[in-house]
Amino acid sequence: MNIALWIVQGIAAIGFIYSGWLKAFQYNQAKASWGWVHDVPRTLVAFIGCAEIIGALGIIMPSATNIAPAITPIAAIGLAVIVLFGALFHLQRKEYREIGVNIVFIALAVIVAIGRF
pLDDT per position as a tens digit, 68-111: 999 999 999 999 999 999 999 999 999 888 899 999 999 999 99
Residues with Cβ within 8 Å of residue 4, at least 6 apart in sequence: 115
Residue 30, pLDDT score: 86
Residue pair 9/113 in contact by the 8 Å Cβ criterion: no
Dump pLDDT digits (tens) for 63-77.
999 999 999 999 999
Q: 41 φ, ψ to 5°?
A: -55, 140
Q: In the chain, which ranges are E strands?
A: none
